[in-house]
Amino acid sequence: MKQRYLEVTFRKGKPFAAYLYLPRASGARAARTSDAGNGVRVDFDEGNVPIGIEITAPGAVTITELNAVLARHGLAALPEEEWAPLAA
């Protein structure tokens, strides 16, 4: 996968969970998961490269918090328009 994308699961019209897929090598799978706090977990492949971010509590996480997690891993910030489905 070349580009990241955000997948949001809704329940009763409200965001229930989300997963930010990060660019990864073909066939890469999560080898470990790290708790980033406040309902955010980061999945890493066998080479310790982040491949995805799980947001288990979308109502408790802000774009600023998510962007801080991305920055800690050397990844570009998520723009407001990508975050919009979770801000609804």
- pLDDT class of 87 with cuts at 50, 70, 90: confident
Number of domains in the chain: 1
Q: How far apart are the first and last CA of the chain?
A: 27
Task: Tell whether 61 is covered by a domain.
Answer: yes
Q: Helix, strand, or coil here: 57?
A: coil
Strand partners, 9: 17
Report whether 33 contacts 42 (CB < 8 A): yes
Q: Is the pLDDT of residue 86 over 90?
A: no
Task: Tell whether 83 is covered by a domain.
Answer: no
pLDDT tens track for 23-75: 998 999 999 999 999 899 999 999 999 999 999 999 899 999 999 999 999 99
Task: Tell whether 62 is covered by a domain.
Answer: yes
At 41 the pLDDT is 98
Strand partners, 18: 8, 55
The DSSP symbol for 23 reads P
Q: Is the pLDDT of residue 88 over 80?
A: no
Task: Tell whether 87 is covered by a domain.
Answer: no
At 70 the pLDDT is 97
Give the domain range for residue 14: 5-73
Rounded Cα gap, residues 83 and 88, in angstroms: 9
Task: Tell whether 86 is covered by a domain.
Answer: no
